[in-house]
Structure 1
Amino acid sequence: MMGNKEKNATKICKELWLHPFESRIELSKNLKLDKSTVTSEVAKLIKDNIIIELPKEIDDNSLSSGRKPIPLILNKEFGVVLGIAIQVGSCTVSEVSLSGLVIESKEYFLNITKENIKEEVLRIYNEFLFTRTKNDPKCYGLGIGVGGLIDYRNNTIKYSVTLDVEQEFSFIEEIEKETKLVVTLENNANCCAWSKLVPNNDSLSDFIFVLLEFKQALIPHKKYGGIGVGLGFVIDGKIHYGVNSYSGEFRSCFCKEKNENQTLLSKEEEKRVLEDSEIMARFIAEISANIASLANTLDVSCIYIGSDIEKPANILSSKIEKDINNNWLFPVEKKIKVTCSSFGTNTIALGAAQKLINELFSLGLLPE
């Protein structure tokens, strides 16, 4: 069991991970800790090179307004984790500092399935280790993001087209035994939500992340060659998983037939969506109507749209803004920010890493 000092150190580090640049006074207030406790803990964390003091802001009133608070951040040299984003036909790996900074990313073009995922993840990790020196920050774990029905409570996959999983599948414990690291598993859309949740300097507590994956529609796949649409929900500042941990699995409310389609587009239309403007317009209109209704019902503050192709995301953003207003019943002004997030698999990999860092803090493993 952790002692109070370790608990307080963990609380302080996690708070600075979530809200970098807070001062000792803000830490004391937000964590409900005595100022003397925060001062003592921060001094030790600075001595251990885990926290860094930034220069004080100087203004013309600095002499008359008293001592300025000193902003604090986690040291990017404190440690790192690897975020691994697995998609159809490719895999992106990002080295992320424990402060949440992406240090380096690399893309691999390979087909990962349940048959080879353990070997490929271990190969990627060993390749990463080969480049390390004794002076490099310690690696604390691996965060993996993949499309499908993910049970976050026990790190298992219930179903995944990407990995060709149709029955419950688990591989995380095997990788943990091989690497002696903490390894987490998360759904791709939830990873994107994690990437916006941390750091949370905008204090966003309720938002939706809409993930669109068009490129996989161009990749032949024995089960599925369509557009990927997934949602990540953040409610009250936390990822919302739902009772079965299936929250965010999208299917248009306009679909009436029992089939594998997420929207009214046929499989053939999905393959042509990037080259046929009429098909794209129908797709955008259908997605927008669904998201606008959800946004108004949940009363979120923001909608992020991430897409591997930029133009459709921009069109969808404008359409959702209009549909939110049209869908709103009451004569009371309502503002929901709709913005495009720079997406690539880096977003998924970063979010997978942030989910892992949160787990490390929750387990009391940071700082050591």
Structure 2
Amino acid sequence: MRVLNSLSEINILRILRLIWLEKKISRVDIATRLGMDKSTVTKIAADLCALGIIREAESGESGPQGGRKPVFLELNNEFAVVGGIEINPRKFFCSVVNLSGENIYEYSEDIAPEEYKKLGLMGYFKKAFDIIKKHSQSLKLSLLGIGVGLPALIDVEQGKIIQSIPLMIYEPVDFIKLAREFTKLPVFFDNDARCCCYTEKMLWKNPNIEKSMMYILVQHRPQQPVENSPKNISVGFGFVLNGKIYHGANSTAGEFRSMLWEPSSKNQFVASAISVENLADASVTPIFRELAQNVAFLVNTLNLDVVYVGGIEEQYTEELVKYIREKIVYLWPYEWKKPSTVTSATLSERVVSSGAGILVLDNIFSIPQLGDSNGGTSKFYNDYTSYQWLSLFQH
């Protein structure tokens, strides 16, 4: 493919991002949406089709006046893939994700405390990466990058893990630097609950309505990867505000501790909830009700459109969803009913690793001048120039 000048590169990125977001869109609609000349769109689309990153899909419906049916463009899912990884105290998950954000391969494995003591976080990251790399090679597809979701306090801008009590990390770790040195690929990471937001955003059926969203990641797992660590309910929040993933100052948004928490508490909830070994135990109900009260306060205060609950088995998700709905109504002070949707998440266990893969795509299909406020885009283009980015797609 010929070398493109910078203006052409930006136009390429604008077109690719729109195709990625819309999944299927015609050349005419691209030109209209981006305010570009139709001939420019046609020329760039021809270059991208020749490269193999996009392809023509089925035709759309003719307009009211008849005429030729529009031909849709879509990403070519046989062109390349990205990888997504989740590592938590219970197990690690791997996802191979196509360019449309769909999982095409999944793998999970329990984490043995003795092995974690020996390998640590980076050892398990390398193990998961090797699995993803091997599978992408078996598919004969290029691996464009890796995303990682962790139960940790993360500085996205600096690429560092500040702290993770669940993963026994108490001092800052320059994770992105270490991961990129090992993989020789673009690597991105985020808190596990925010990775879930990427998954739901990609699967939104009506993005014009669901502009503000909350994801509640509830996991039943050991507190740490050590022998005899008691199981507990771990909760993290992810937010999408005005259509964008919200990180907050120093990427700390979403860390949860109940408003009823006391100094004597052993976890995120009240003192009576010391350990939860079995979700079927009746003692879990007060925890779910307490969590619902915290969530309802945020939903009503922030006027959120939708709440997703994921991370635990379906039957317990439904129970928690019911309590949240009840609390939203109970705590709403006006006769006018607040239209908030509370529902179970689209995906189950693989939601974090899938979202981590979509995080990679969100960075790759971003526009430098219009980078997202979360810092991921600017960080990507600090490390990978447009020419280097384009070279990722040249086989």
Q: CA deviation at 1:270?
A: 2.4
Q: Provide the C-alpha distance between the structure 1 equivalents of 2:153 and 2:227, rounded to a whole number of angstroms.
A: 18
Structure 1 residue runs without a partner (length 5+)? none
**Alpha-carbon distance between aligned partners in 1 of 2:225 and 2:122, rounded to the nearest angstrom:** 23
Report deviation, 1:63: 8.5
**Distance change in 2, residues 1:134/1:283 (3 Å):** closer
Work out the CA distance in 2 between the residues paired with 1:127 and 1:341: 26
TM-score normalised by L of structure 2: 0.84
Q: 1:256 Cα deviation (Å)?
A: 3.1
SS across alignment from 2:251: coil
CA RMSD of aligned residues (A): 2.6
Identify if the C-alpha distance between structure 1 residues 99 and 136 changes in structure 2 by more than 3 Å, giving closer, same or farther: same
Q: 1:131 to 1:100 in 2, by over 3 A?
A: closer
Cross-structure match for 1:142: 146
Secondary structure of 1:214's match?
Answer: strand
1:347 match: 351
Aligned-partner SS, 1:197: helix
Residues 14/221 of structure 1: CA separation in 2 closer, same or farther (3 Å cut): farther
Q: What SS does the corresponding residue of 1:72 show, helix, strand or coil? A: strand
Separation (CA, whole Å) in 2 of partners of 1:256 and 1:351: 33
Contact 1:20 1:201 (8 Å CA) reproduced:
no
Query: Aligned pair 1:275/2:276, yes or no?
Result: no
Q: Which residue of 1 aligns with 2:215?
A: 209
In structure 2, which of residues 12, 17, 22 is the aligned counterpart of residue 14 of structure 1?
17
Q: 1:254 aligns with which of 252, 260, 265?
A: 260
**Per-residue deviation, 1:168:** 1.2
**Residue 322 (structure 2) aligns with:** 318
- Find the residue that maps to 2:269 and give its secondary structure: coil
CA distance in 2: counterparts of 1:43 and 1:182, whole angstroms: 27
The equivalences for 1:1-368 within 5 A come to 3-58=6-61, 64-111=65-112, 112=116, 116-131=120-135, 133=137, 136-203=140-207, 204-216=210-222, 225-257=231-263, 259-264=265-270, 266=272, 268-272=274-278, 274-277=279-282, 279-362=283-366, 363=381, 364=386, 365=389, 368=393
CA distance in 2, matches of 1:37, 1:222: 63
Give the distance between the partners of 2:47 and 2:138, measured in 1 at CA. Answer: 24
Offset, 1:250: 0.8
Q: Distance in 1 between matches of 2:358 and 2:135?
A: 23
Distance 1:175 1:244, change over 3 A: closer
Q: Deviations over 1:221-275 (max 9, x none)?
A: 6777421101000011111111121100111111132655211154544235x13
Contact 1:83 1:95 in 2 (8 A): yes
Which sits farther off after the overlay, 30-39 or 109-118? 109-118
Stretches of structure 2 that go unaligned for 5 or more consecutive residues are: 367-380
Alpha-carbon contact 1:113-1:164 (below 8 Å) kept: no
Residues 88 and 151 in structure 2, CA contact (< 8 A), matched pair in contact too: yes
Task: Judge which range, 148-157 or 49-58, deviates more.
Answer: 49-58
Determine the C-alpha separation between the residues in 1 that align with 2:138 and 2:261. Answer: 56
Deviations 1:123-168 (A, max 9, x none): 3333443455487121011111110111111121111123201121
What are the superposed Cα offsets for residues 60-118 of structure 1, whole Å, 9 maximum, x if unpaired?
x7795333333321110121111001111310100111221211001122244695322
Q: Distance in 2 between matches of 1:218 and 1:275?
A: 22
Q: Distance in 2 between matches of 1:145 and 1:56?
A: 38
Separation (CA, whole Å) in 2 of partners of 1:2 and 1:287: 53
Give the whole-Å Cα distance in 1 for the aligned partners of 2:138 and 2:234.
41
The normalised TM-score by structure 1 is 0.90
Contact 2:200 2:346 in 1 (8 A): no
Partner Cα distance (1:230, 1:328) in 2:
23
The amino acid across from 1:284 in the alignment is F
Take 1:12 and 1:224, find their aligned partners in 2: how far apart are those partners? Answer: 50
Cα contact 2:265–2:271 (8 A) shared by 1: no
1:140 counterpart SS class:
strand
Asked if structure 1 preserves the Cα contact closer than 8 Å seen for 2:92 and 2:128, the reply is no
**Structure 2: which amino acid aligns with 1:106?**
Y
How many residues align? The count is 364
- Partner of 1:176: helix, strand, or coil? helix
Within 1, Cα distance between the matches of 2:37 and 2:227?
Answer: 58
Q: Would you say the 8 A contact 1:19–1:201 is kept in 2? A: no
Structure 1 residue 16: deviation in Å? 1.7
